[in-house]
Amino acid sequence: MLVWLVLGWSVCALAQTDPGRDLSRYADDKFGDDDKYTVETPYETVTVKQPRSRKVKNVIVMIGDGMCMETVTIGWTLNGGHLNLDNFPVAGYSRTYCTDRLITDSCAGGTAISSGAKTKYGYIGQDVDGKPFETLLHHAQKKGMRTGLAVTCRINDATPADFVCHAPDRHMEAEIAAQYVDSGVDFIVGGGRKFWDQREDGRNLIEEMKAKGYNFVEKREDMAGIHDGKLLGLFAPLDMDPCLDRGPVLEDSAEKALELLDNKKGFFLMIEGSQIDDWAHRNKVGYMAEEMFDFDKTIGKVLQWAEKDGHTLVIVTADHGTGGVTLVGGSLEDRSVKVHYSTKGHHGIVVPVFAYGPHAEDFVGVYENAELSQKIFKLLK
């Protein structure tokens, strides 16, 4: 009886103080420095047309790690109502849960995208019984296509490893890095150099890769001098700096990958906006937004190339959402936002899928993350 009396009093009190039922005003009463952000100068976006070709020669999968629809909307608002993502004629939604947990991680989430099957939390490139998957990248190699990875995290981190390596635990970082030596991947750019040349087993994986014919570069600017052959770029001891400090590494890496991978038999390329996730975990909306911008700028470069090529399928999606960020205030005209984060972890809400190029219409709808890559496998038969 006492519970009902208290509840009834609370409802009555709320009704008295808020007769207009405008409950949204209770959402934006407290904001810290990391919950607000304003962009002074927006960046220019590109405009491309959907190609008419039905032939899929090249496939580019772009993963915004931790990128949910809220992240996209925050980026769109801060850039004054424009994103390169606006060019995509087709959109869908992907369910991200894994086999043993409702809330996935980048290992299982990325593996589902790379392999066409869901797996256990923490598993990289292998099924629930520990059997290695043949991923989209491996399948492309079997077809004689060139392959590449470009990320801003360590190259042996979960998402890039999901496409190349096999492990039951993402923390097996030295073992995962060693698997790249015999992977045959044509273009590899990211961070994590310490796992290549400062190893406890005494191996120098960089020298091993060079012996296999790879061009090795340690700085973004050094890629400009490479115009053929395989490339290994390791630009940081661990993960790269935030995007405003590291410069246009992802954009330049994507453009160099397109230059080096383009050939008559086609290519498969995975590009990751890795640190959207990192800053969403930290609940810092400004850093998160800048990583979203960096990813979207790279999307613009890729779309311009794909439009000219005419036979390239471009898929943009996420492995999961992070931070539970909610846009609760701001101004489109002032390019400002106010947000609330509900968690420092991942969440289980569906993530967007954007498709451009031949057979883009195949990716409309709501489906499992594993179905996303199943669709791509069919197109690469």
Q: Are 202 and 174 in contact (CB under 8 A)?
A: no
**Rounded mean pLDDT of 323-340?**
96
Q: Is residue 2 part of a domain?
A: no
pLDDT at 251: 98
Number of domains in the chain: 1
pLDDT for residue 332 is more than 60: yes
pLDDT at 30: 55
**Separation of CA 250 from chain center:** 12
Is residue 24 part of the annotated active site? The answer reads no
Domain, as residue range, for 85: 57-379
Residues 6+ apart with CB under 8 A from 229: 213, 214, 215, 260
Backbone Cα Rg of the chain: 22
The region that residue 226 occupies, defined by phi over 0 for left and psi between -120 and 50 for alpha, beta otherwise, is: beta
pLDDT at 31: 56
pLDDT (tens digit per residue) in 263-292: 999 999 999 999 999 999 999 999 999 999
pLDDT tier, 2 (very low <50, low <70, confident <90, very high otherwise): very low
pLDDT (tens digit per residue) in 211-262: 999 999 999 999 999 999 999 999 999 999 999 999 999 999 999 999 999 9
pLDDT for residue 29 is more than 90: no
pLDDT tier, 13 (very low <50, low <70, confident <90, very high otherwise): very low
Q: Which helix (H) or strand (E) holds 108?
A: helix 106-115
Tokens 């047309």 identify what position? Answer: 49
CATH of residue 224: 3.40.720.10
Show the tokens assigned to 90.
């087709």
* pTM over cut 0.95: no
**Separation of CA 87 from chain center:** 18
Q: Is residue 367 part of a domain?
A: yes
pLDDT at 199: 96
pLDDT for residue 25 is more than 50: no
pLDDT at 327: 96
Which residue among 10, 53, 94, 106 is the active-site one?
Answer: 106
- Phi, psi angle pair for 272, to nearest 5°: -120, 130
pLDDT tier, 24 (very low <50, low <70, confident <90, very high otherwise): very low
* Cα–Cα distance for residue pair 121/107, rounded to 1 Å: 7
Q: Which helix (H) or strand (E) holds 352?
A: strand 351-356
Show the tokens assigned to 81.
């109502």
Neighbour count for residue 96 (Cβ, 10 Å): 28
Q: Are 281 and 48 in contact (CB under 8 A)?
A: no
Helical H runs in 132-204?
136-142, 158-164, 173-178, 194-197
Q: Is residue 343 part of a domain?
A: yes
pLDDT at 343: 95
* Cα–Cα distance for residue pair 218/328, rounded to 1 Å: 42
* Cα–Cα distance for residue pair 355/148, rounded to 1 Å: 19
pLDDT at 381: 85
* Whole-number Cα distances in Å, 292 to 198, 246, 286, 295: 32, 14, 10, 5
pLDDT for residue 20 is more than 70: no
Q: Is residue 9 part of a domain?
A: no
* Cα–Cα distance for residue pair 330/335, rounded to 1 Å: 8
* Cα–Cα distance for residue pair 195/157, rounded to 1 Å: 11
pLDDT at 11: 40
Q: Is residue 186 part of a domain?
A: yes
Q: Is residue 174 part of a domain?
A: yes
Q: Is residue 251 part of a domain?
A: yes
Q: Is residue 359 part of a domain?
A: yes
